[in-house]
Structure 1
């Protein structure tokens, strides 16, 4: 199921995590050539992706919301 990005935070290793409207969190990494998300690197890039949809595997699995 696709869910919109509503915010971001960094985990304890300083990796960016998207917060989705469904209440789940999803890491959004830029690790070319396997994961190409250059927008993650800059604040303006992340802000530009607010509202964009990401596939939420946790919703598909019926997982409870993540706790901030």
Structure 2
């Protein structure tokens, strides 16, 4: 996270991919992983041609409960 904060502070754009990419056969082959070896994710750094749109976020009022309510 600190790397992404620094990247953005310097005027670049960054994205941390995890999840599906860490189990992808193509990514595992690219990094030459064997057996039980794994990686946490991939950080992409570059200059964006346009500002990316934010993803849809859940309505917090539907999923958050406050106590005492």
Q: TM-score, normalised by structure 1?
A: 0.29
- The structure with the greater share of residues assigned to helix is 2
- The structure with the greater share of residues assigned to strand is 1
Q: TM-score, normalised by structure 2?
A: 0.29
